[in-house]
A and B are shown apart, each in its own frame.
Chain A
Amino acid sequence: MNKETVVSMWKERFSIPEEVFDGYSFFRRGRMIWAFSLPEIPPFRCESIGMRVISMRESPWKPTTYALQLWGRYARKNVIDLDDEMARRFFAGESLVMRAPVERGYVVVTHMGSVIGCGLYTPGRLISQLPRERRILEVECLQASE
Chain B
Amino acid sequence: MAKRIMTVDDSASVRQMVAFTLKKEGYEVIEASDGKDALSKLTGTIDMVITDLNMPNLDGIGLIKGIRAQAAYKFIPVVMLTTESQAGKKAEGKSAGATGWIVKPFTPDQLLAVVKKVLR
To the question of whether A and B form a pair in one complex, the answer is no
